[in-house]
Amino acid sequence: MIRKTLKKTSKHEKIKDFIKKYNIPPEFLSTNRKMVSRAVFLGIFIAFIPMPFQMLAVLAFMPFFRFNVPIGLAMCWITNPFTMPPMYYIEYLTGSFLLGTEVAPVEMSMEWFSENLDTIFVQLYVGASFYSVVGSLSAYWAVNHFWKHSVHKDKNLHYTERKN
C-alpha cells in the first residue's frame, strides 16, 4: 500500500515541477526499494544518536550516499521533545548494562543532565550505538522484506487476474 502511494506521489506533476524549478537531482526523491530502505536506515541510525541538528547530519550524507532525502529526514523525527527523554534514559540503562557499570539515579531535568553529562556520557553513547545499529538494520531489513513481499503479492494478483 505504502509502496504504491510513494510511487504515485513521485510521479505527480507538482513534484516534477519542484525538481525542475530548484534543480534537484531526481535520485534524492526517488521512491524505489533501495532508495527508501537506505533513507530509513540512515534516518533511524542518526535518530538514535543523542546530538543536536540530526537533520543536518542526514543532509551531510547526501554527497556520499544516494537515498530518498525526505524519508531520511522524516525518520529523524522519531526523536522529538516527547520521545527524547525516555529514549536517552533507555540508552543510558542499556549502555550501563553492556559495560557492567552501576546505574546512577537520574532526574529528568536539564540541570541534572548538564551537571552529570561527564559521568553518563560513555554509557549513554554505548547504548545509543547499540540501538542505532540494531534499530537501523532492523528497519532496513523490514522495509526490504515488506517491499519485496508487496511486489510479489501484486505480481501474483496480476497473474491470477490474467489467468481468469
**What's the CA gap between 91 and 74, in Å, rounded?**
21
46 in Cβ contact with 54 (< 8 Å): yes
Q: How far apart are CA 115 and CA 70, in angstroms?
A: 36
Name the DSSP class of 102. Answer: P
In angstroms, the CA 119 to CA 84 distance is: 19
pLDDT at 7: 61
Each residue's pLDDT expressed in tens, for the chain with a length of 164 residues? 565 666 666 566 676 676 667 666 767 777 788 889 999 999 999 999 988 899 999 999 988 888 888 889 999 888 888 888 889 889 999 999 999 998 888 887 778 877 888 888 899 999 999 999 999 999 999 999 988 888 888 777 777 777 76
CA 163 centroid distance within chain: 40
Residue recorded with cell 481468469: 164
Domain boundaries of the chain, sorted by first residue: 2-163
Say which amino acid occupies 32: N
pTM of the model as a whole = 0.80
